[in-house]
Chains A and B, each alone.
Chain A
Amino acid sequence: MKDKTKKYSLFAGFIVILLLLISLPSYASSYRVIFVTNILMYVILTLSWVIFSGPTGYISLATAAFFGIGVYTSAVLSGTLSLPFVILIGALASFCLAFVVGSLTLRLRGMYFTMFTFALVQLISNFAHWYEVNVTGTVGRLVISLDSTIIYYSILVVFCLVLLASYFIKRSKFGLALQSIGESEEAAAHSGINVTLVKVTTFAISAFFMGAVGAVMTMRWTYVDPPTAFDIRLSFMPLLMAIFGGMGNLFSPIIGSSIFAYLEEILTTKFPYYYMLLFGGAMLLVIVFMPHGIEGVFRKFQKNNKQESAKKT
């Protein structure tokens, strides 16, 4: 009974937040709207990263690659198609790349996989740069930028979609399969799960949303080139935010990434020169002192409370 009321109140709280977000452009300045857009971008990237890496434990550093593919697709198509199609094609391009890359590399375990995904970003970025210089003879592309409200609503739609996707994946048989792969890959294979297919599909789904975000966020720039599109920081941010929040349930990564992205936006404007230094320091502190994130700290606190109340009685 108690669980059910808790569930309903959570759901109601979520609806309220969503309504606040939808009506945001009517009461907030355009600066605030852009601010929230940036935070939502990180929340989406983190959530889609957690879809794959959360349950399976494979640490992927390819986020920037999929984001960048979305950016480039959308930059190439900008002005020729309507926005929803551009986003969809950008997302599908990332999906396809992730499917190919995943089927090649997801046999690799642990460190090897991480190293590979890390190198993938550099490979694509270097190749794009070489291609532009030698084949098309340009560096970068001009983009037709869009109104910040349109970008905001597109991001909000992607956010809702990624939230629904993570919720349903978590609840489904598919999510259970992922979890068992994370626990023990051999055992999962023996109990009849097509391990490779499940891994590759999930990897591609998570890349789908990363590509979609990339395609939307392109519209806020007027010009993109490989270093801005394939910014390696975007590979680390989602991972760090997910660790900071915890990955046990759907809310922890959202909370973690919102807080972190908020701090990031403040820090980049206040200390532009020391920002990356602070970022590195934060990364070390989080890993050393909060390996299970806010969620872990919270749970420890709860546990201590329970133990103390047990002692008293």
Chain B
Amino acid sequence: MFVKFLDIVIGSLLMGGIYALIAVGFSLQYGVARVLNVAHGEFLMLGAFAAWSLFTLGGINPILSLVLCAPVFFMIGFLIHITLFRRLKISAESLAVFEGNSMLASFGLMFIVQNLALIIWGAPVKGYSYLAYPISFLGAVFSANRIVTLITSIIISVVFYLFLARTRTGKAIRAAAQDPVAAAHMGVSINKMLALCFGFGTMMAGLAGLLVSMTSIMVTPFMGMEYTLIAMIVVVLGGLGNIKGSFIGGFILGLVGTIVSYIQPGLSMVAFYLIFLLLLLVKPAGILAK
């Protein structure tokens, strides 16, 4: 009984770490750049493929790939915002119109990225094994790579949180999120901040993908959608645009997912949607809302 309980707690922590990382990136893109980026999961998929390619073709350690890929993903997101979303923002009459259009554009982006990946890597599932030996902790057994993913995702989230809270650029980003007009008057370059946030969001999705691929999960061009939905649910759980809420929400969803898949393995996604539905109906502003 105790081992079962411990299994669930540890399992949910391990899952929650990844969910939190995905959701923080998603939340950043929506909260500051006002883009509900449905293609978020696709960048996670790209990250997973990047890790796979670097590991099997180049023999590069996935942890080293994290460092190598981070700036690449940041640049991809940054450039997408500059070329696509900035243009949409200029042409939209109101914020609501921009939100609608940018969401639709990100659906287009989703199809493009997914099918490019399909053309490049093909449909068969890929996977590799890294640090896959078992570790036992008070009777609960899990593989070593999952510890690495949990610790790395917590480090990334905390570093980013400190960056937002302590640095000058972080302050400018927070100002841009709170009131873009006032921030612009104070000399914050809004467009640059939005592109920065979008870049950071994409980077987190990519890094989460690298981490996910380590846990010997099947890597396919169609794996992204599931994570996009998870990110959406977590973000609603924590409140749209609330970064701390997204972080906590990730762990809550990890817990729920682990418990449900313990009882009835096929139903964890259905349980997520039900939580999503209930939240939207009862507390659409998120669990941390006052």
Taking Cβ atoms with an 8 Å cutoff, the residues of A that contact B are: 59, 104-105, 107-108, 110-112, 114-116, 118-120, 122-123, 126-127, 129-130, 133-134, 236, 239-240, 243, 273-274, 276-277, 279-284, 287-288, 291
Contact = CB atoms under 8 A, between A and B. Distances in A.
B289 to A, nearest CB: 13
B115 A236 contact: no
A154 B270 CA distance: 35
Interface stretch (B48-56, B84-92, B186-194, B204-212): B84-92
Interface in B80-134: 84, 87-88, 91-92, 96, 99-101, 103-105, 107-112, 114-116, 118-119
Given A122-B273, A280-B115, A287 B104 contact: yes
Contacts of B38: 118
Given A108-B284, A123-B273, A283 B115 contact: no
B111 A119 contact: no
A104 B284 CA distance: 13
Contacts of A108: 280, 284
Contacts of A239: 104
B270 A127 contact: yes
Interface of B: 36, 38, 84, 87-88, 91-92, 96, 99-101, 103-105, 107-112, 114-116, 118-119, 229, 232-233, 236, 240, 266-267, 269-270, 273-274, 276-277, 280-281, 284
Contacts of B109: 280, 284
B96 A119 contact: no
A129 B229 CA distance: 18
Contacts of A282: 108
B232 A115 contact: yes
B280 A116 contact: yes
User: Nearest 6 A-B pairs (CB), nearest first?
Assistant: A280-B111, A283-B108, A280-B112, A123-B273, A284-B108, A277-B115
Contacts of A126: 269-270, 273
Given A114-B103, A119-B229, A239-B104, A291 B281 contact: no
A105 B276 CA distance: 12
B115 A104 contact: no
Contact of B107 (A236, A281, A291): A236
Contacts of A111: 36, 99, 103, 240
A168 B107 CA distance: 33
Given A116-B276, A119-B232, A277-B112, A288 B270 contact: no
Contacts of B270: 123, 126-127, 130
Nearest to A236: B107
A306 to B, nearest CB: 22
A119 B112 CA distance: 21
Nearest to B87: A288
Contacts of A105: 277, 280-281
Interface centre among A111, A236, A239 (most CB of B within 10 A): A111
A284 B118 CA distance: 19
A66 to B, nearest CB: 17
A280 B96 contact: no
B115 A276 contact: yes
Given A112-B280, A118-B38, 7 more contacts: A111-B240, A114-B100, A114-B103, A130-B267, A134-B266, A277-B112, A280-B115
